[in-house]
Amino acid sequence: MASDKTQGWSGDSFDRYKEYRYVVAVNAIAFAYAAFQAVDMTYRLNYGKHIISYSLRPIFDFLIDQMLAYLLISASSSAATRVDDWVSNWGKDDFTEMATASIGMSFLVFLAFALSSLISGYNLCNQKSL
């Protein structure tokens, strides 16, 4: 999405539209969180403990997974609406095709976070008392 700039008659780029900036920002935050979780899980598999251990971890994981899932579906939906408006008014071009592909990937990320949210909810409900 961030590389979506055209040189055609419109000269459009993603940063001219707040919906597209919203998608990029939410996806960047989701990527950073998922990368940290991957590093933390790798560390846990190797050393048997988390990088940062605390008693509220299951609640934190569940809440962050939920928030990011909702933010991702919100951002993807708002950007999809912008693309639909663009196509209905001016037709398809390279800009809208790249934006559509980016939005599709964002919806896939939402599905991954929705699944992660279900798993972290299960872990929260089935945690052993301390």
pLDDT of amino acid 85: 86
**Is residue 20 pLDDT above 80, yes or no?**
yes
Cα 11 to Cα 7: distance, rounded to the nearest angstrom: 5
CA–CA distances in Å: residue 26 to residues 30, 108, 121, 124: 6, 13, 22, 25
pLDDT of amino acid 4: 56
CB 10 within 8 A of CB 89: no
Hey, what amino acid is at 120?
S
At 8, the pLDDT band (50, 70, 90 cuts) reads very low
Nearest 10 degrees: CA dihedral of 23, 28, 29, 35?
Answer: 140
pTM of the model: 0.82
pLDDT of amino acid 9: 47
The pLDDT of 12-35, averaged and rounded, is 88
pLDDT tens digits, one per residue of 59-80 = 999 999 999 999 999 999 999 9
Which residue is listed with tokens 């929260």? 124
